[in-house]
Amino acid sequence: MKFAYLPKPKDEPIAHLEAQGHTHVSLDDNPDLVVFGGGPKDFPDELSESVKVVQIQYAGIEALLEAGILAKHAANGVRFANAGGLYDDTVAESALALLLAVEHRIKAVSPEWNNTQLFKEKEYLFDGKKLALIGAGGIGTTLIRFLEPFGMDITAVNRSGNPVDGADRTSALTDDVWADHDYFVLLTPLTEETRHMVNAETIGKMQDSAVIVNVGRGPLVDTPALTQALRDGSLRGAGLDVTEPEPLPADHELWGLDNCVITPHVANIPRFMERRIGGLAAKNWELFEAGEKMSTEVDIDAGY
């Protein structure tokens, strides 16, 4: 198989693919597969007829979908795979870090040695808490394993109804889920159904002690509604690795709220992408060649 790496070649994944017997070529040299790690502006206007598969380096492909790129090339027979499941451990650990930072009130710590304030406000994950994983796929399963020492009651929320390893129960997303849990970790793909799933209405169903952690997609959360709830105490806190808009403007109110911990979309980082994407591309190519569905093949109509 001949492969191209766009927009900027990376040594580690190229070396991995070459070690599997594949050949790195330029886009002009009729590759069979393209590994792509850029945004919509980086994607070529045209692909040669030789390209059968595009392996995207990220799990999230909404920007490419919204730009019409996937549909355009899929109409010419190109199949797309994302990196879903490749970063379960890194994103799960980052979600746990955000949850701990919010509950331990790390952002509220001040040079005034405000331990009296923290005595009142700090919480612990082990203290009879209930957590809902909204979108309980691979990241959720890994996070459940990471949370096991805390003894939390965990509800896995998915559309299939299939049991999730380690969860106490599996549920659809109902009003009772919003009302009965202390923590909500958002992991679901972004679709028209999930856009702004956390909004003024759903926040109104939550306990005022609830904490939201978003390591999925920024637009899963209605930012003005979240900001208002954190400001007026309708929510205890939020941990955000993704935001809408992104990046969040430097003067946005969320930066100044001590019950909101924000990281700049670093739940997974480039060196882990580069370390792992070559192996996934090779696996997906093998499946493609065997006439099978790729392990992370994108359903363009579903949006993920």
| Residues 67 and 216 reside in one and the same domain | no
pLDDT of residue 301: 86
Of 246, 274, 286, 297, the active-site residue reads: 246
pLDDT of residue 154: 98
265 is catalytic: yes
| Residues 178 and 206 reside in one and the same domain | yes
Distance of CA 47 to the CA centre of its chain: 28
- 71/84 Cα distance (integer angstroms): 19
pLDDT of residue 304: 84
| Residues 286 and 258 reside in one and the same domain | no
| Residues 127 and 254 reside in one and the same domain | yes
Of 16, 181, 217, 276, the active-site residue reads: 217
| Residues 147 and 17 reside in one and the same domain | no
pTM above 0.85, yes or no: yes
Q: Residue 218: which CATH number?
A: 3.40.50.720
| Residues 16 and 123 reside in one and the same domain | no
pLDDT digits (tens, 9 = 90+) for 191-212: 899 999 999 999 999 999 999 9
| Residues 245 and 137 reside in one and the same domain | yes
pLDDT of residue 60: 86
Of 265, 275, 286, 297, the active-site residue reads: 265
pLDDT of residue 50: 98
| Residues 220 and 91 reside in one and the same domain | yes
pLDDT of residue 30: 97
| Residues 91 and 225 reside in one and the same domain | yes
121 is catalytic: no
Question: Which residues have CB under 8 Å from 74's CB, separation 6+?
Answer: 80, 300
Task: Give me the residues of the chain with pLDDT under 50, please.
Answer: none
Q: Which domain does 134 fall in, by range?
A: 87-262
| Residues 236 and 288 reside in one and the same domain | no
| Residues 181 and 34 reside in one and the same domain | no
Total count of domains within the chain: 2
pLDDT digits (tens, 9 = 90+) for 145-183: 999 999 999 999 998 888 999 999 999 999 999 999 999
| Residues 8 and 91 reside in one and the same domain | no
271 is catalytic: no
- 130/232 Cα distance (integer angstroms): 23
